[in-house]
Amino acid sequence: MDISDICDNVVVDRVTIADIEAAVQRTGEAAVRTPLLAQPWSTGRPLWLKPESLQPTGAFKIRGAYNAIAALDDADRARGVVTYSSGNHASAVARAAWLFGVPATIVMQDSAPRVKVTATAAYGAEIVTVAMADREREAQRLAEEHGRHIVPPFDHPDVIAGQGTVGIEIVEQLGDVDVVLVPVGGGGLASGVGTAVRQLRPHAAVVAVEPELAGDTAQGLREGHRVDWPGELRARTVADGLRTQPSELTFAHLTEVVDAVVTVTEQEIRDAVHALALRSRLVAEPSGAVAVAAALYRDHELPPGRTVAVVSGGNIDADLLAEIVCAG
């Protein structure tokens, strides 16, 4: 699906390559410069993986969370931070706050995967559980009550800029990359990566990937405006990290820096988790595997050439991983 002609009428401040380069300096050693791993088993196209599952918190989210907290002035940061998240951003904010020595309160939905709740609690954050629909409202209440700053999962320029450091690394590591496949849920990662790749490698195609069962971004970019899928529809996908949907800020970025969106089925996501475990020796959560699913099953929808798939995270419950691996 070509979205290059979509017109965005929302006036927002766009993240620039300078913002992303500043995030590189801020995050420093807090985020791992993950490698690009060539995949000789890929017979369809030359394929490299960017395993963000190797980050200290098991997902790319540490980049944006740390950058956003680092960008606060000392007084605001000292009062502490609040966020709401299904898990990966939660543990990222908890770790970043721990590194800065400031308090953090994390609002999580009561259905969050156990592995993500445990990882967040390990950094000493206060965890508050509510229904998914109440997370943002409760976070706002707690921030006002305690005078703390909210670090949203994706809807903030500093978060987007932090995630964009993935894109800078991709171009530095594979200067002649032709296609970058990146998962999309709330759109922070795709917005940041797309911005960096568009500036540094303008001829490369940036393709966002999401589950068919949470295909609001594909529909929205096809129709030229944000669409709202009910939470119960988005909750059907096994890719729990992609059950969110873009904000006005991220959607405005996506219309400018993403060349196409493809969707993948639930079985294709599971098959990609299986392939990553047995062929690439990488543990990936379903949300983290969607880009690889696109490389495996949507080759005919993708531009040709050297392709990088971002494996955005590896925080998967052991029981689900065993189920998927054994099913294959």
Q: What is the pLDDT of residue 12?
A: 65
> Is 312 annotated in the active site?
yes
User: 305: left (phi > 0), else alpha (psi -120 to 50), else beta?
Assistant: left
Q: Which domains does the chain have, with CATH numbers?
A: 17-60+156-327 (3.40.50.1100), 62-150 (3.40.50.1100)
Mean pLDDT of 313-328: 93
Mean pLDDT of 264-279: 98
Which is the catalytic residue, given 53, 91, 280, 312? Answer: 312
β strands within the chain, DSSP E: 37-38, 47-51, 81-84, 104-109, 126-130, 149-150, 179-183, 205-211, 260-264, 307-311
Q: What is the pLDDT of residue 297?
A: 96
**Contact criterion met (CB below 8 Å) for 310 and 291:** yes
Please check the confidence at residue 32 and state whether its pLDDT lies above 50. yes
What's the one-letter identity of residue 281? Answer: R
Task: Output 108 or 65, whichever has higher pLDDT.
Answer: 65
Which is the catalytic residue, given 50, 53, 61, 191? Answer: 61
Q: What is the pLDDT of residue 13?
A: 82
Q: Shortest CA distance to 324 belongs to which of 266, 250, 240? A: 266
Whether the full predicted model's pTM is greater than 0.75, yes or no, is: yes
Q: What is the pLDDT of residue 8?
A: 40
